[in-house]
Structures are given as structure tokens and as C-alpha cells.
Amino acid sequence: MQLTDLTAVRLLDGYRKGEFSPVEATEQALERARRSRPEVNAFVRLTEEDALARARESEARWRRGEPAGAVDGVPVTVKDILLMRGHPTLRGSATVSEQGAWDEDAPAVARLREHGAVFIGKTTTPEYGWKGVTDSPLTGITRNPHDPARTAGGSSGGSAAAVALGAGPLSLGTDGGGSIRIPAAFCGIFGLKPTYGRVPLYPASAFGTLSHTGPMTRDAADAALLLDVIGAPDPRDWSALPAAPGSFREALRGGVRGLRVAYSPSLGGQVAVRPAVASAVRRAVARLADLGAYVEEADPDFSDPVDAFHTLWFSGAARLTQSFSPRRRQLLDPGLREICARGARMSALEYLAAVDVRMNLGRRMGRFHERYDLLVTPTLPVTAFEAGVEVPRGSVFRRWTGWTPFTYPFNLTQQPAATVPVGADGDGLPVGLQLVAARHRDDLVLRAAHALYEAEVAATPPVPTTVA
């Protein structure tokens, strides 16, 4: 049995029944990670010795019938933006020194550690997570497991690739403008950006309240399991929400019958969507209707908020690098250096004007969700394009936001949003469908996504054996 193809839920069931052990699962996940490393480049580092030690401890607990927590013995990867005790967090940047104590976990990592997770490595990110593809001067290019000539997406590209490869069924990503959903869609896995504050973040992101931490998994049930673990308050994050009133795993039940679903194929004609993407999403939406949802084609009434997003994003980047010396600044990705320079020229009044746009958008979406439980869109208008570039060749756009118009608006509004793999284009590249709900209704997003998996509309496609 290939344990690398199993979900976390299935692994835990196998541990409970004695069918296989955390050591076996960890060894197979590490082997997948090692084998794919030269071609895909999903990992900054593998933590093999620590992982096997934790797996052996977990195996002993399972033999005693005393698991430490909800994910005891499950192989997990962590985006190298989040702190993980005992290992450097370099954030994809040559400007960060490996020296230091590195003696603290980010809140989500701490919760996983308490629940017995096995950390097998840190995954790649563009420098400071600044763009929608994953390459950096420090680690080079991260490639798509389905076609290594294509990008894995970003900024949580290493995490998405790791899950798609079977190098651990659970991963922690971050999402400030689509950074969980973009690579999850390109790599054919499930990715959830929870409501802002549902998963505490420490240290705080330079991009402020745009940035969310969330699950990247093989399906919605695994994401619910992971969110139950990491969605606990942490005193280091003053903006964290209180504990959820119930279990997200329990909320998976019930299906979509009776839910009011708005289907927006192009945000009111604002987005040109590739035909193969549009067709796959439309087929999945039709299945939601077959499953009992009330589906109506309807668009949220907003124009593209990209200028406001850029103001908040670029000024955050400028603040992040404000203290850098000229020599240190020269180490940065040239694109990051460029947006930092733009952000440094922005005024407080421009920033506050962007906040006004954000508040208006949030109000509009709040009203929209009085009529609809869920909004469905394509996650992205394109499938994975050439690796090593920020935008597709021939694009009229200079920045990654040009091809991600469905993702960043919902960072501005702080709503829960997930991507579900619902098919592939003619080249076999995955297509993602995005589910969005009102703030604090992460349960609805997970429930609808789970219904698509249960109906076999959604699935993580296998990667070529030459890669995995």
C-alpha cells in the first residue's frame, strides 16, 4: 500500500486499527520528498532525523492506545514563512541569517506539535511570500508536479507541491492575496483561506490583516481536521478569534441541499477565463445543483479593487524592508525591490483611501451574503503556466495580480475562501473552483467542498510517476 496516497483521516484510521504505523508513513513521505526534490524543488530543508524520532514516539503511543492528539503521527509540512522550533525560517530570502536560537513555534505549528504531528520539512516560498508564483534568489524555482516545466503557483507553492506529491497529506500555508488558493489550484489539491483571525499568526505579517494562515490538504475532510487543531486562540495574536463554537469535522455533514449558491463565472464580465477552466467549473456547479443546492448565476457588485490591494500590499512590503541597508536591499528579488520602492512613495492618505475601498467591499459582500450562502467562481482564469516567470508569457500584466482577480478581493474582505480541484485542461493541468462564504462561515465552505468530494466531482489527480 502506498501510504503517500492516503489522506490524514485515512492514515489515522490505519494507525488506530494497527494496519500500518506512523514510522512507515513518515518514511514513505520522506522518500517522496527526497525523490522529487531535484525536479520539483518543493523543500527548503527536510527534517528527517527529527521526523523519524517523532514518528517513533507516536508509534509507541498508538501501540499503547494513547495518541497525543487529533493528528498524532501524521506527516506535516510547513511553509518557510512560519516559525518552526529548532530550524531556521528564512522566508525565501538571502537577507535572513540562519544564525539564531530559532526557539519558538508559530501558533499553528505549536498546536500541531501538541497534537503529535510529525514535521518532515519546511517548504519553499518566494521571498517573504510577495508574489503568486514560487521562485526566489535563495531557493530557485519550485515547479509543478503535474508538469515540471510549469509553475506550482505561489506563494505557498512548496506546500502545494508537497501535498500533491504525497510528501505528507497536511501542510500549513499562508495567504495574503491568494497564496494558498493559487498553488492549490495549480497543483490540484484543496486549499482553505479561513476567516481572518480563525488561525492565529505570530509574528504578525508585514502585510497586516490581508494575511491568513490555513490548511493545504488532499481533501476537505483533512482540512476540517487540520482547522480543528490550528484554529485555537493564541495570546501572541491580539486579532485572533475565540475558539470556534463547534468542530469543523462535524460541520462537514449535511451536504448542500437547500444552500443558496451564486455562481459568478467572470465577476460580471470583468475576467477573461480560459474555456477549459470555465467548462470544468460550470460542470461542477451543475453538480451542486444536482445535489440540491439552489444555484443562480449572479455576480457580486464590485469593480476590481486591485489598486487598493496594491496600495496595501506594496506599502506592507516597503515597511518590511524599511531598515535594510543598500547592500542588503540588493540581495532582494528585483520584483520585490521594485514594489518596495513603489510602496515607500505612498502616503498615509493613499493608504487610508485604500482602507476605505476595503471597507466598502466588505460591506457589499456582507449584503451579498444576506441573499446567498456561497459564492462560486473559478479559482483562477488560467491553469499553470511556464515556471520562472511572474506572469504568463505575452500577458499585458506586469504583476501577478493581473492573473489572480478571483483571489485577492477576498483577502480584502477577510472572508473564508477555498479552492477545490474539479478537473483538468487539455494538457492535464488541474482546474480549481473557488467557494466563498460570509465571514465566520468557514463551516459552509468546508461542507460544500466535502459534498463535491463525496460526489466524486473533486479529487486530487495523480502526478506522473517520473516525478513522484
Which among 214, 170, 218, 177 has a CA at the least distance from the CA of 192? 214
314 near 343, Cβ under 8 Å?
Answer: yes
pLDDT for res 249 = 98
Q: What is the third-level CATH fold of 3-234+252-305+349-454?
A: Amidase signature (AS) enzymes (3.90.1300)
**Cα distance between residue 335 and residue 365, in whole Å:** 32
**Cα distance between residue 288 and residue 200, in whole Å:** 32
Active-site residue, 205 included? no
Which residues 6+ apart lie within 8 Å of 22 measured at CB? 15, 55, 56, 58, 59, 62, 72, 73, 74, 118
Which among 176, 96, 72 has a CA at the least distance from the CA of 131? 176
**Tens-level pLDDT at each residue, the chain (468 residues):** 799 999 999 999 999 999 999 999 999 999 999 999 999 999 999 999 999 999 999 999 999 999 999 999 999 999 999 999 999 999 999 999 999 899 999 999 999 999 999 999 999 999 999 999 999 999 999 999 999 999 999 999 999 999 999 999 999 999 999 999 999 999 999 999 999 999 999 999 999 999 999 999 999 999 999 999 999 999 999 999 999 999 999 999 999 999 999 999 999 999 999 999 999 999 999 999 999 999 999 999 999 999 999 999 999 999 999 999 999 999 999 999 999 999 999 999 999 999 999 999 999 999 999 999 999 999 999 999 999 999 999 999 999 999 999 999 999 999 999 999 999 999 999 999 999 999 999 999 999 999 999 999 999 999 987 777
> Which of 21, 136, 155, 211 is an active site residue?
155
212 near 156, Cβ under 8 Å?
Answer: no
| Helices and strands (DSSP H and E) totals, the chain | 14, 15
Q: Would you call 354 exposed, middle or buried from its count of C-beta atoms within 10 A (0-12, 13-18, 19+)?
A: buried
**Cα distance between residue 121 and residue 115, in whole Å:** 17
> Which of 21, 36, 79, 93 is an active site residue?
79
SS3 217: strand
Active-site residue, 79 included? yes
pLDDT for res 266 = 98
| Residue ranges of E strands in 42-123 | 43-46, 75-79, 118-123
**Cα distance between residue 153 and residue 267, in whole Å:** 22
DSSP string, 233-280: --TT-TTPPPPPSS-TTGGGTT-STT-EEEE-SSTTTTS---HHHHHH
pLDDT for res 467 = 75
- Return the axis-axis angle of helices 220-230 and 442-454, rounded to nearest 10°: 150
Q: What residue spans of 322-401 are helical by DSSP H?
A: 326-329, 334-344, 348-371
388 near 189, Cβ under 8 Å?
Answer: no
Active-site residue, 179 included? yes
> Which of 156, 179, 264, 315 is an active site residue?
179
